[in-house]
Every structure is written in C-alpha cells, then in structure tokens.
Amino acid sequence: PGGRGTRKERTNETLIAWIKAQAAQTEITASVCTGAFLLGAAGLLHGREATTHWGSVDWLREHHPEATVNDAARWVDEGRIVTSAGVSAGIDMSLYLFDRLQCRAAAETTARHMEYTWQRELV
C-alpha cells in the first residue's frame, strides 16, 4: 500500500529486505499509489515500467531513474511486478489481477457487487 508513510519507510532496511524476500517467492508483487517507492527501494522496479499517484510521479522519477515511470497509466503490468496509481486505480488494478488470475466474469461480478464501475483500460 501507499500513503504518506512510504517516503519514510523506503529507508527502513528491515521492511525493504522483507519486501525483497517476499517478492522472490510470489507470483505477483503489486503496489498501490506510493507503495511503488517501497518496490523501488527494494530494487524491484529496475528496468521496468511503473506508475504511482499523479502527485508523486516526479518524485518517483527522481529517486528511481532505473524505472520508466508512466504518468498516464492507472496501472502497469510488468509480469511479476504490477503497480497502480492512486486508490481507485488500485481497485481497478485489483480487479484486473482477479481477471488475470481467475477470469473476467468473476472480476466483473465482484465489481458489480461492490457497485463499482471498473475501468478496465490501463490508461
């Protein structure tokens, strides 16, 4: 997850080591909003495209030049690493991952039960 604390926590060596260790064992590691800073600190954005909240795009570019920051995407799927922009984009990304891992119908049903209008497009 993102939020104001990510800028401080990106220097938390214990947390960053834990994220790195978990990512080595997971099929997908995803972030919402400024959670991308934590993935960047763990080296997980190196050579990958990523996104974050619109208000933090320049900061992500500045601090993680090894990543290609997409400021237009609601989420970016780089296979094992998936990042999203702000909170509602994180919901869209979560439904997208449900679609990717299960099926589109299940994701659509979930969105309908939430009374949520799912933006399926990456941009």
List, by residue number, the catalytic residues.
33
H helix intervals, the chain: 6-9, 13-23, 35-41, 57-63, 87-101, 104-114
What is the rounded distance in angstroms from the CA atom of residue 61 to the CA atom of residue 121? 23
Q: How many CB atoms lie within 10 A of CB 15?
A: 15
